[in-house]
């Protein structure tokens, strides 16, 4: 059905799952904080991840904090499967990717950046694959990382060398989800026709002339500068109309009338009428 020329509003578009996260399972190992549990569940809801698994959680799964911070993803949190160890949690996964704040190259080989995960999945396709995040205090231990076929390291750029657990899950999954996937931003309104832009230039220059901006400048020399400046903008008809409205208000405030260029030229070409005589 014709939408009457209306442009797509991203807020009204049903989210489309990222193909990069198809089949993804997030696994949290020995999680200490109920707030982190809740926040990770919420992130999974944001990212379209429907499989959250917990390995030997230390935090209480169903408590006020975990429920409070799982906004809109409480069911995902409360239905998360709990496993005694990582090996059991990943038994049905064809590819397991661990995470570590520390460099483990000598033990595990080179790390991946999150943006490299989609390429790994392209070369090692898996119907079910896991992203594994360790305990807040000490991450995944070496035995747990050896359950993984690859591992991700998140760079930091300040003095803190590691991220909060929920932040690490959010950053990692977001980068994976968006790598190579065009964002949904709605449609750009088309640019105004050149005729409307040229008329705006004329009106703008006419207004500046009327308010005596060019007492020490030349209109013809100023026009190219104004043209270059406005050419850097993507001016739509809405923009043009808004700018003309602003200039019209300048004219009205200064001269009591919203002149356009033609009206201005016609008015200035008229000889002033003689004052009316008595009686």
Question: So what's the pLDDT on residue 76?
Answer: 95
Among 36-40, 85-89, 104-108, 130-134, whose mean pLDDT is lowest? Answer: 104-108
Same domain, 32 and 94: yes
Question: So what's the pLDDT on residue 262?
Answer: 52
Residue 279 has pLDDT above 70, yes or no: no
Residue 272 has pLDDT above 80, yes or no: no
Inside any domain, residue 4: no
Question: So what's the pLDDT on residue 186?
Answer: 63
Question: So what's the pLDDT on residue 188?
Answer: 67
Residue 275 has pLDDT above 50, yes or no: no
**Tens-digit pLDDT profile for residues 219-245:** 777 888 888 887 888 888 999 999 999
User: What percent of the chain is predicted at pLDDT more than 90?
Assistant: 50
Same domain, 174 and 204: no
Same domain, 151 and 59: yes
Question: So what's the pLDDT on residue 4?
Answer: 46
Inside any domain, residue 275: no
Same domain, 111 and 237: no
Q: Give 181: exposed, middle or buried? Use CB within 10 Å, 0-12, 13-18, 19+.
A: middle
Q: What is the C-alpha to C-alpha distance for residues 88 and 98, in angstroms, rounded to an integer?
A: 15
**Tens-digit pLDDT profile for residues 181-227:** 877 666 667 888 888 888 888 888 888 888 888 877 677 778 888 88
CATH number at residue 116: 3.40.1280.10
Inside any domain, residue 185: no
Asked if 147 contacts 86 with a C-beta cutoff of 8 angstroms, the reply is: yes
Number of domains making up the chain? 2
**Tens-digit pLDDT profile for residues 135-158:** 999 999 988 988 899 999 998 899
Q: What's the domain range around 112?
A: 20-178
Question: So what's the pLDDT on residue 268?
Answer: 47
Tell me the pLDDT band of 38, cut-offs 50, 70 and 90: very high
Same domain, 168 and 52: yes
User: What percent of the chain is predicted at pLDDT more than 70?
Assistant: 84
Whole-number CA gyration radius for the chain: 31
Edge-to-edge strands of the sheet including 24-29?
81-83, 51-55, 24-29, 129-133, 95-99, 150-152
Looking at every residue in the chain, the average pLDDT score rounds to 85
């Amino acid at each position: 059905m014709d939408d009457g020329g209306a442009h797509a509003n991203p807020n009204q578009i049903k989210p489309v799952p990222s193909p990069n996260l198809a089949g993804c399972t997030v696994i949290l190992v020995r999680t200490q904080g109920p707030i982190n549990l809740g926040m990770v569940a919420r992130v999974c809801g944001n990212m379209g991840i429907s499989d959250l698994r917990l390995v030997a959680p230390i935090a209480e799964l169903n408590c006020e904090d975990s429920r409070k911070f799982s906004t809109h993803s409480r069911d995902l949190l409360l239905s998360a499967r709990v496993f005694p160890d990582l090996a059991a949690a990943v038994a049905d996964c064809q590819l397991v990717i661990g995470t570590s704040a520390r460099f483990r190259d000598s033990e595990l080989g080179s790390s991946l950046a999150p943006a490299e995960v989609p390429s790994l999945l392209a070369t090692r396709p898996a119907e079910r694959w896991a992203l594994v995040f360790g305990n807040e205090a000490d991450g995944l231990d070496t035995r747990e990382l050896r359950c993984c076929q690859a591992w991700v390291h998140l760079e930091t750029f300040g003095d803190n060398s590691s991220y909060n657990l929920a932040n690490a899950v959010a950053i990692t999954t977001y980068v994976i989800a968006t790598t190579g996937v065009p964002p949904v931003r709605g449609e750009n309104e088309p640019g105004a026709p050149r005729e409307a832009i040229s008329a705006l230039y004329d009106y703008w220059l006419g207004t500046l002339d009327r308010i005596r901006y060019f007492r020490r400048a030349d209109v013809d020399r100023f026009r190219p500068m104004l043209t270059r400046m406005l050419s850097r903008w993507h001016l739509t008809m809405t923009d043009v109309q808004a700018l003309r409205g602003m200039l019209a208000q300048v004219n009205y405030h200064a001269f009591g009338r919203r002149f356009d260029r033609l009206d201005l030229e016609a008015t200035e070409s008229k000889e002033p009428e003689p004052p009316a005589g008595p009686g």
